[in-house]
Structure 1
Amino acid sequence: MPETGSRTRVALLSHCLANQNAKVDEYALCPGVVSPVVAILKEFGYAIQQMPCPEMAFLGVNRWWQVKEQYDTPGFRRHCRNLAFSVAELLEARVARGCEDLVLVGVDGSGSSAVTFTGIGPAWGGRPEDMSWEVVPGKGVWIEELEQVLAERGLPVPRGFGVAMELPGFTMEKAMAEFRGFLAAGRAGLDAQQ
């Protein structure tokens, strides 16, 4: 643990990347932690702050998959904002101690936790059978609300990376190469500023 006053790197980690058991049935790719993500964060010297799972806390463990339109409701947004306040409070303490880099690692394809590409399906409703959906640039509802709360509290909005586990064609090897590049580019940018 860094000493008081030392500068740290902090990663806000989507809950399901530290615990795949929080995922909707059939979407977990690992029996628990997505260890390559955590190993790379540790290698680059990031302190990990696991975030809560807004979907599981709101809908429970027996939920089915959803797209952004289904999460984009006043009740779910309010729920996400309440969770975001707890994340912001913990982050305030870390930032006060000195945070040289802040990243958010989400799950692209998610209607809730996406960072760069989210899943949409305007016609979704009723039974979750054979529904078509598409991937578009954008953030999930949870990430939108989290970033808004951080900005409102004067905290830095983190650089974001989405592990595209829910997108067609995903491979862990390719995703982790991209993740390393994302973290390395951030480190290079910080070194250039000093």
Structure 2
Amino acid sequence: MQRSKQILIVSHCILNQNTVIPDEARAAGAVISAVEWAMKQGYGLLQLPCPEFTFLGLDRPSMTYEQYNTPEYRKHCREILKPVLSQAEDYIKNGYEIAGILGIQSSPSCDPTRGIFMEELTEMFAEKGIKLKKLWYLPNTSEPVFDSEKHFVE
């Protein structure tokens, strides 16, 4: 079977809502509408680690962008992104395309336009000459329905 050779980088909790803080989960497991869309596009999925879970654990408080915006947290984000960057570089070296990234609207870490983790990811990729062409986000609603046209960041 022919590979699409297109990789979508996906925030951890889109594929695993079990890492989300209590009362914020939007699905029982994976967010089905986002997964179905990615599958229909033929994207391979590169799941990001959850920076908040790996930094503070599962039983962590709800925090804001400002509370996470510390040198320690940014250093942690960069550290856990190293393997992701290495994988992306290997994909590119072998003729694959990084199609874009799918993040979480209003997340202090994974909002594609204003999330600490996404800021560090974008900067690290740029340092290696990798430009992320498209950014999508999962809406911040209790019942998320992903729409690639509506939830695209230009």
Normalised TM-score (structure 2): 0.89
- Counterpart of 2:63? 66
Q: In structure 2, which of residues 101, 108, 125 is the aligned counterpart of residue 104 of structure 1?
A: 101
Matched, 1:172 2:147: no
The higher relative CO (CA closer than 8 Å, separation ≥ 6) is in 2
User: Which SS does the other structure have where 1:142 is aligned?
Assistant: helix
Percent identity (aligned):
30
- Residues 23-76 of structure 1: CA deviation (Å, up to 9, x unaligned): 001111211111110110010111100010000000000001111001100000
Partner of 2:129: 154
Does the residue aligned with 1:172 lie in a helix, a strand or coil?
A: coil
Give the TM-score taking structure 1 as reference length.
Answer: 0.72
Residue pair 1:10, 1:103 contacting (<8 A) in 2 also: yes
- Cα offset for 1:140? 0.4
Q: Give the 3-state SS of the residue equivalent to 2:25 in structure 1.
A: coil
> What is the DSSP-based 3-state SS (H/G/I as helix, E as strand, rest coil) of the residue aligned with 2:94?
helix
Name 1:163's counterpart in structure 2.
138
Partner of 2:21: 24
In the alignment of these two chains, the number of paired residues is: 153
Measured after TM superposition, the shift of residue 19 of structure 1 is 0.3
Distance in 1, Cα, partners of 2:127 & 2:83: 14
Q: Higher Cα Rg: structure 1 or 2? A: 1
Structure 1 gap segments, 5+ residues each? 117-138, 184-194
Structure 1 segment 42-61 matched on structure 2, within 5 A: 42-61=39-58
Q: For structure 2, which runs of at least 5 residues remain unmatched after alignment?
A: none
* 1:114–1:162 CA contact under 8 A, matched in 2: yes
Q: Stretches of 4+ moved more than 4 A in 1?
A: 180-183
